[in-house]
């Protein structure tokens, strides 16, 4: 007895009306709220279900809670880094400006210190030389008086030349240290540089002009070391003044 083989039924393709009906059922299930029949025919409180399952009971907190995506966190970090980079750059610029200003001030202070040190050193050097120069000035005065006396007495020519050479050599050495004579002959009398020891009438020089030098004055660099003692003209003699009045 042969058994007839039954062919499996191939599923039939749903018709267009069946497709439309299935889509409508799916849409209704998504939009409609759950009915009490789905929970055994009784209305079920979602809060009690959450308590039974150990979940949070505050449904508003659950609804408001959001899961942060990794891309959002990275974007927030990049934005925070972008805002901190200009702040750090501004801080560096401000620090560089302060350091530059401090460097300029230090350079100015060092330059002033260097100039002040050189000036004080020069003043100390001059003050040390001043005491020595004051001790040597009488020697120069005596040499000059000896030369004048030898010329007045018509001493030996070699002797006079020897005295002049000694005087010139000594003046050359002292001039290296800043000593220089004050020119007084035929100069207008200046009380800052000259010391008048006498006045004489002069037919050739007007009043207030130096007509004779008694003792030579000297300067040490730009400072007065000793004023020159001079004789100043008082103007024409009285006889010439009377003749001028007549």
Q: How high is the pLDDT of residue 171? A: 92
Cβ-contact 220, 178 below 8 angstroms: yes
The residues facing 229 across adjacent strands are 195, 215
Domains and CATH numbers, the chain: 83-177 (3.90.20), 178-246 (2.30.22.10)
Our measurement of the distance from residue 209's CA atom to the centroid of its chain's CA atoms, rounded to an integer in Å, reads: 54
Cβ-contact 146, 163 below 8 angstroms: yes
Q: What is the pLDDT along the chain (246 residues), one digit of tens a residue?
A: 444 444 444 444 445 545 554 445 544 444 445 554 444 444 445 444 445 445 445 544 444 444 454 555 555 555 555 555 566 788 888 889 999 999 999 999 999 999 999 988 888 877 788 888 999 999 999 999 999 899 888 888 899 899 999 999 999 999 998 899 999 888 999 999 999 999 999 888 888 899 999 999 999 888 899 999 999 998 888 776 555 555
SS (H, E, C) the chain: CCCCCCCCCCCCCCCHHHHHHHHHHHHHHHHCCCCHHHHCCCCCCHHHHHHHHCCCCCHHHHHHCCCCCHHHHHHHHHHHHHHHHHHHHHHHHHHHHHHHHHHHHHHHHHHHHHHHHHHHHHHHHHHHHHHHHHHHHHHHHHHHHHHHHHHHCCCCHHHHHHHHHHHHHHHHHHHCCCEEECCCCCCECCCCCEEEEEEECCCCCCCCEEEEEEECCEEECCEEEECEEEEEECCCCHHHHHHHHC
Q: How high is the pLDDT of residue 185? A: 87
Buried b (16+ CB within 10 A) or exposed e, 206-233: eeebbbebebbbbbbeeeebbbbbbbbb
């Amino acid at each position: 007895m042969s058994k007839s083989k039954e062919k499996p039924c191939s599923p039939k393709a749903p018709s267009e009306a069946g497709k439309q009906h299935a889509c409508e059922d799916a849409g209704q299930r998504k939009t409609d709220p759950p009915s009490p029949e789905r929970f055994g025919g009784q209305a079920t409180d979602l809060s009690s279900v959450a308590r039974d399952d150990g979940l949070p009971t505050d449904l508003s907190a659950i609804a408001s809670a959001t899961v942060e995506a990794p891309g959002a966190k990275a974007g927030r970090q990049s934005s925070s880094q972008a805002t901190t980079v200009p702040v750090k750059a501004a801080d560096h610029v401000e620090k560089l400006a302060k350091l530059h200003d401090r460097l300029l001030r230090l350079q100015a202070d060092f330059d002033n210190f260097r100039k002040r040190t050189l000036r004080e050193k020069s003043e100390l050097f001059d003050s040390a030389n001043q005491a020595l120069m004051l001790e040597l000035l009488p020697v120069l005065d005596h040499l000059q008086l000896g030369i004048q006396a030898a010329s007045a007495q018509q001493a030996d020519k070699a002797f006079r030349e020897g005295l002049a050479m000694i005087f010139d050599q000594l003046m050359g050495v002292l001039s290296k240290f800043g000593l220089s004579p004050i020119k007084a002959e035929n100069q207008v009398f200046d009380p800052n540089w000259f010391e008048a020891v006498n006045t004489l009438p002069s037919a050739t020089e007007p009043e207030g002009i130096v007509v004779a030098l008694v003792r030579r004055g000297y300067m040490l660099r730009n400072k007065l070391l000793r004023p020159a003692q001079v004789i100043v003209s008082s103007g024409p003699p009285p006889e010439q003044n009377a003749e001028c009045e007549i």
